[in-house]
Structures are given as structure tokens and as C-alpha cells.
Chain A
Amino acid sequence: MGLISCINSGAVLRRRIATSRERLYRVALAWCGDGMLADDLVQETLSLALQKVHQLRDKERLNAWLYSILNNRWKQYLRSRRPHEDLDDERPCEKPGPDLMVDRLEIVSRVRAAVAVLPLEQRRVLALVDLEGFSYNDVAEILEIPTGTVMSRLHRARKGLVKLLEPDETMPTEVTGPSLRRVK
């Protein structure tokens, strides 16, 4: 690559990083449920991305790379807050408050409240797939977990969300069949 191409490529990447703030923020908000914390996580992510962008070998992977950084910042934050907690713990972070079930809040509030109740690892997968449209393989790479784990966490997250947002309705009977072998 020529020097001018190199410079232009770097400028394009920096612009793409700069314009990723809103998307990163939405995912960070879904993960942590706190606007100020989400903003700080995104700011740290962007700062680190700008410093390390020259290390990114595959420019096409910029998006996934940004979310990997965000994920690492989030994990660091959690470790600093709760050093003895297992990050892979699948238990819900908190019990659903009674208000969640009885109050008919507007959809935004209800969804955010429901997502906040999901176990942390489920939230992480759900936001990346349902908000950002990442493939399972991308999510597996970003979160550094097996693809099968992505699928199972996503499924549990969706079931949990349905249960929380439609408490009067039950999911149709789940069919437990052979393990999935037909994904791309």
C-alpha cells in the first residue's frame, strides 16, 4: 500500500470509529443499564480504538473489533466493581421488581427494565445480535466464547424477555430435540 493510500485509509478508519459512538452506546446501555456508565465505556472504547487502530490488520473487521474493545472495557469495569463474581454466572443480576410486572409503562421503559433483569451474559449476546445484527460467529469472536454458547445464551435471553414482557402468556411448549447441527 502506498503512503498516500495508507494515510487515507487511516483517516477513513478514524472517521468510522468516530461515527460509531451511537451504536456502541446503545449496546453499552443494554449491557449495563446506566446511561452515564455506558457513555464512559464508549468514550474509553473510542479512545483506545483511536490509539490502537494501526494494530487492526483486517480493516473489514473494524466493527467487530470495536465491540471487542467495548466488551473488554465492560469486563474490566465489572471486575473492578465485583472482583469475586464469576462473569459467566448465569443467575439473574437481580430479582424482577414487582413494579415491572404490574405497571404498564411505555414500551421503552418496560423493555429496558426487562433487559436489565436478564443475566449479564445473556444481555451481552442479545444486544449484539438483536440490536447490531452480528452473526453468531462474530459474537463468538467479540465475546471470546464458543458459537454454541452464543446460541444457547441468546435463546435463553429471548425466552426470558418474552416471559418478562408477556407475563400473562406462556411460551408455546418448547420442543427439546437433538442438538442443533444445521447452522451455517
Chain B
Amino acid sequence: MSTMDKETWDDLTLTAYIDGELDDATHNAVLSAMEYDKALSERVCRLRRTKDWMHAGYSSALPPQRTLPKQHPSARLLRNGLAASFIALAIGIGSGLLGYVCAERGATTLAENADPNRIVLHIDDSDPQHFGQLLDYTEAFLQEHRDSGVQVEVVANAGGLDLLRVDSSPYEQRVKTLTENYTNVQFIACMNAIRNLTAAGIDATLIDDVHTGETAVDHIVKRMNQGWTYRKVDSLSDI
């Protein structure tokens, strides 16, 4: 007979044995005791069966197909400056990380309770298809909310600046027409992007009525802090 008397194996200990919650010495002692104590083995087996039952009962249960809930990051993210850092990084290196962050969130509004009537649209790539999407969306939004006091700003940096440069824009006339027809839309070119082009010897002359003077990051962060809704061009097809 082992020094461990079988009466000492209370059910709580055996339950812990089944779950691997005993220390090594006690675990081994139970294991040894089971070799000569059939009743003990039966108790352990009986208790262990519940694991098998639970798996049999629920492992096949599958939830209905549902989309992931939309995420609404707290305003604290903005207040503590993290959002500004993300945007600065994304815009600064022109890598589209801001868009990546937004896409991950499944929503492009970074500020909680952002005003849907004040939208800052951001483009940072030179894809002509994106230019078209952006202008289509801008025009449709302005038309649809003509009498609602909406405000739209289109902010371009990195490759997106091509939309607003005389030398490169495939939509120069359309940009002009929009600014002429709507007083509540503004096109804004990133000051840093202009400076970089100029430094590289590229003509950065902007289409008439396009504004500049601020970096894209400063402007977007300012607007978001003012409660504007932020949307990146990649997300516009979701509308």
C-alpha cells in the first residue's frame, strides 16, 4: 500500500487531477494509486467523461454567419494624440498606412460621433480611377445634400497631389467646375508634398482655387478634432 491512503483522494482532488491542476507530486501519486485501486480509476474515468460529453455536445455548434461589428474607436484615441501620430506616419511616408488602419477598422470614421455633414476626403495615391471615384462621390454628396449645409474638403498629398496639379490632373476642368458650382467644397494640397515636388524639380503649379498652406496631416487632424468625418478614397466604394 502506498503511503497515500486511498481515503485521502477526495473528489475535488480527482477533479483537479483530470484538469491537470495538481502539482507534479500529487498528480503522480494519484496516477500510481489508480494502478492498484480499481474503484479510484472508475471514479476518475466517470468524472473525466464530462469532458468528452461537453465536446460531443458543443463542438459541432456553429454560430450563424455574421459580419464583424463595426468598430467605433473612442475619442480618447484622438485626445491622447495617437491618431495624430498614425496619420502623421501614414501621410508622412505616403505608404497608405492610414488607409490600412481604417480598412482594418471596417469604418473610416476615426472620431466618435463625427458629424456626417462635414467630411474630409483624403487621397494619397495617383490612381486615376481613385481620382474619378473621389470626384464622383464628392459631386453626388454635394448634390444630394445641397440644402443641408454640408461641407466637404478634399485633401491630397503624396501621389494624390497629381489630381490637383495643372501638369498632371486628368480632371482639371472637373475640379474647377466643382469649386465654381459649390461654395461648400474645398480642394487642399499638402504643403509638404508641394515642397517635395519642387525640391525634385517638378512643376507643382496647382489648379485654380486649390488651397494650400498646411500639411495634410495638420489639416486632417485639425478637422477630426473639430468633429469632421474622415474618409479615405479607398473606402468610398463601400458607400
Contact yes or no, B39 A7, CB < 8 A: no
Majority SS at the chain B contact face: helix
Nearest CB to that of B40 among chain A residues?
A: A172
- Please choose the segment from A39-47, A61-69, A71-79 that sits at the chain B interface, where 4 or more of its residues have CB less than 8 A away: A39-47
Chain A nearest CB, measured from B183 CB (Å)? 37
Task: Report Cα–Cα, A176/B71, bound state, in Å.
Answer: 51
Bound-complex Cα distance A165 to B25 (A): 33
Chain A residues closer than 8 Å to B64, beta-carbon distance: 35, 39
The smallest beta-carbon distance between A123 and chain B, in angstroms, is 10
Query: Are A155 and B15 within 8 A (Cβ)?
Result: yes
Distance A14 CA – B58 CA, assembled complex (angstroms): 25
B112: nearest residue on chain A (CB-CB)?
Answer: A51
Nearest-neighbour CB distance to chain A for B48, whole angstroms, equals 9
Asked if A7 and B51 sit within 8 Å, CB to CB, the answer is: no
* Candidates A26, A108, A172, A180; contact of B13 at CB < 8 Å: A180
The reply to whether the CB of A18 lies closer than 8 angstroms to some CB of chain B is yes
Residues of B within 8 A of A108 (CB): 56-57, 60
* Nearest opposing residue in chain B for A46, CB measure: B69
Q: Does A182 contact B (CB under 8 A)?
A: yes
- A158 and B10 form a contact (CB under 8 A): no
What B residues does A25 contact at CB under 8 A? 61-63
Report the contact-size class of chain A (Cβ under 8 Å from the partner).
Answer: 35 or more
Contact residues in A for B10 (Cβ distance below 8 Å): 174-180
For the residues of A in contact with B, the DSSP-based class is helix
- Complex Cα–Cα for A25 and B61 (A): 8
B53 touches A111 (CB 8 A): yes
Chain B residues with CB under 8 Å of chain A are: 6-13, 15-16, 19, 21-23, 25-26, 39, 42-43, 46-47, 49-51, 53-64, 66, 68-74, 77, 85-86, 89, 97, 100-101, 104-105
A-to-B contact residues, CB < 8 Å: 3-4, 7, 10-11, 14, 18, 21-22, 25-26, 29-30, 35, 38-39, 42-43, 46-47, 50-51, 54, 107-108, 110-112, 114-115, 126-127, 129-131, 135-136, 151-152, 154-155, 157-159, 161-162, 165, 171-180, 182-184
